Homo-oligomer: A and B are copies of this chain.
Amino acid sequence: METLIIGPMDPWGPFATGFIGLIFAFILYGLIMKFPAGKQSVVKIGDQIHLGAKVFMITEYKILAPVVLALVLACGLSPLGWYTALAIAVGALSSAIAGFIGMYSATKANVRTATAAENHGQEQALSISFFGGSIMGLCVASMGLVGLGGLFFYFSGAMDDLDKIAKALEGFGVGASAVALFSRVGGGIYTKSADVGADLVGKIEAGIPEDDPRNPGVIADNVGDNVGDIAGMGSDIFESYCGAMIASIAIAATMLDPNLMFLPLWLAASGLFCSLIGIGIVRTQVSRSPAVALRWGTFLSPVIFLIFAGVSIYYSPIEMKYFYSVLTGAVGGILIGLITEYYTGGDTENSPVGKIAKSGETGPATVMITGLSVGMQSVVLPLFVIAGIVGLSTYFSGLYGVGIAAVGMLSTVGITMAIDAYGPVADNAGGIAEMSGMKSEVREITDSLDELGNTTAAIGKGFAIGAAALAALAIIAAYMLAADVEQLSLDDPKVLMGMFIGGSIPFLVSSITMTAVGDAAFEMIEEIRRQFREIPGLLEGKAEPDNAKCVDIATKAALNKMLLPGAIAILSPVIVGFVLGPIHLGGMLAGALLGCVLMALMMANAGGAWDNAKKFVEKGNFGGKGTDTHSATVVGDTVGDPFKDTSGPSMNILINVMAIVSLVIAPLL
């Protein structure tokens, strides 16, 4: 392979950068561990959550291992070969490690956040929880570089043919997306079923407060935050992040340009450095104003990244037109984030959230109608932005532009993911404070941290959907090149058939995951009711609940329910590809992409808006807590939960899994 001369880096550069990122993550972990975990009762609860999350993820990985092994063997024995098989294994392992470390550190950070809030106040609590989130962010970015960068380095030494290198790397995407799919869907089902179960029996039936230690479901609820909102989300973003790079590499390979193959890794490595800078900004500015610190971190990192990327591409042999595509992607990502914030984060009566809250005055039905309407409307502008990104990025640099735009959007994933993951850590700390009977001011601090995180996280969520859409689109583009179909024209009935079939898949998977939450919650409800009934003295606080049993039930239920959507995602492109053919499959991917993006945005934004409408009422608007208006918005929030935390997010992965599986099997069709 030709020597790559982008800036000062060699092919081993991204791999090395990944290790540097991991070192920083471990330094942050050390910093967190220096803070005291707190008194005995706090430590005990923290340990239960930590253990529950660990058990869930290990059980999950045990179920996943044979699936991945089967994929590896099937791939190795097929004409795709053992290089691709190796990449599948590395991809799965990298994603699993990132998720596990993230969850592990988060469950260490949460107790320390609670204790810090109790003893030292908001600033220290924010630091610890933000460090906790940052570890997840850094692990995602770093493991991507270590895994994918390492394979790139290895393959570029072992193989001469650019096409073969790219083909082998695709396996990484399959591994990563398989893990992401199961983590996101399983974690999403876990977290919401535990949440719903604990709330329904505890708050409504037994009349005890949220996060009350007597409730056997609350530990499971808190475990859910860690496995769903942290590990699940991490593997989700990991998948888009690597998918975008893999797609760009695959397209660059068909252009026979090794520099363009290396560019995504180089950009991601630069982005990791910029994320480190961003984390530093947040850390140093936090004492002035936490809200401003988070916002600056979110916006400055991409800006620094763009300057850095622009300058280094300018002085490299790569044409500047590719930078313009990167720019398009990064700006587009921020735009989608801001639109998402508008629809889900408003706090005036005339904002979409305010309108939903107001509609609570006429009951739950109007809350539903208004919320669904907001969700549907919130789809429009992001899709226009995506269309704009597609148009501009390809105008600058062809189909490769779409891929590299997605890379541009995702390269500062370290900081975006850090802010996303910090909210659940703070939320968890609040739960621990409640359970261990800390005074109410502690809860107020953690609540304010959580809220702060939610607003910034809204931007990250929109970002994630936009990035996933673009990554999937790039993979689909790579598929079309790989499948060697002359054209996928819309007047070809095969394409249309595929489109209709593909469009139905996101609806099917959403339907399954929505009911899965209900079914899993039902088992949880039965168990909590049983414990209240059968354990003497539990409600009086004289006996201890059997938390482990609830964790176990939620684990089994979630993992059980994730199999069907997982099988649909992996098998549907295989079946359509082999039974109907590569042209049908191309149409199917297009239909599924559109359906997934539409549903992901609609569900995530409607869910977020309902959540905040409830909070808006709870702040005293339209009568405040305890009124019928409030109850009406609670209904909205309950419907919004599976929307925004289970079904909505699984759409991102669904399309990416379908796309990457198609890309890998393309030469066999």
Contact = CB atoms under 8 A, between A and B. Distances in A.
B518 A383 contact: no
Interface stretch (A57-65, A172-180, A285-293, A583-591): A583-591
B511 A635 contact: no
A84 interface: no
Most chain B beta carbons < 10 A, residue from A363, A500, A503, A511: A500
Given A359-B518, A514-B376, A639 B365 contact: yes
B370 A518 contact: yes
Contact of A501 (B376, B384, B491, B586): B384
Contact of A490 (B362, B366, B587): B587
A362 B508 CA distance: 24
B635 A370 contact: no
Contacts of A638: 365-366, 369
A374 B594 contact: no
A590 B499 contact: yes
Interface in A354-410: 359, 362-366, 368-370, 372-374, 376-377, 379-380, 383-384, 386-388, 390-391, 394-395, 399, 402
Given A390-B496, A394-B493, A491-B477, A363 B507 contact: no
Contacts of A597: 500, 503
A503 B370 CA distance: 21
Contact of A497 (B374, B390, B490): B390
Contact of A376 (B359, B487, B511): B511
B365 A635 contact: yes
Contacts of A374: 511
B504 A380 contact: yes
A489 B491 CA distance: 9
B376 A507 contact: yes
A320 interface: no
A41 interface: no
Interface residues of A, number: 72
Contacts of A384: 500-501, 504
A80 interface: no
A200 interface: yes
B373 A511 contact: yes
The binding surface of chain A is classed by DSSP as helix
A395 B598 CA distance: 31
A113 to B, nearest CB: 31
A510 interface: yes
A383 B500 contact: yes
A515 interface: yes
A500 B388 CA distance: 9
A514 B373 contact: yes
A95 B255 CA distance: 55
A168 B518 CA distance: 55
B497 A491 contact: no
Nearest to A583: B490
Contacts of A493: 390-391, 394-395, 399, 402
A495 B501 contact: no
Nearest to A200: B362
A488 B591 CA distance: 15
A496 B402 CA distance: 11
B383 A501 contact: yes
A419 B177 CA distance: 49
Interface in A503-522: 503-504, 507-508, 510-512, 514-515, 517-518
Given A376-B514, A594-B500, A594-B591, A491 B399 contact: yes
A376 B508 contact: yes
A117 interface: no
A219 interface: no
Contacts of A267: none
A363 B495 contact: no
Given A372-B514, A374-B511, A376-B514, A500 B387 contact: yes
Contacts of A511: 373-374, 376-377, 380
Contacts of A243: none
Nearest to A366: B518
B518 A639 contact: no
Interface in A591-608: 591, 594-595, 597-598, 602
5 residue pairs, one from A and one from B, having the closest CB atoms: A365-B638, A394-B493, A376-B511, A377-B511, A383-B504
Interface of A: 200, 359, 362-366, 368-370, 372-374, 376-377, 379-380, 383-384, 386-388, 390-391, 394-395, 399, 402, 473, 476-477, 480-481, 487-491, 493-501, 503-504, 507-508, 510-512, 514-515, 517-518, 586-587, 590-591, 594-595, 597-598, 602, 634-635, 638-639, 642
8 contacts: A365-B635, A365-B638, A376-B511, A377-B508, A387-B500, A391-B497, A480-B491, A490-B490
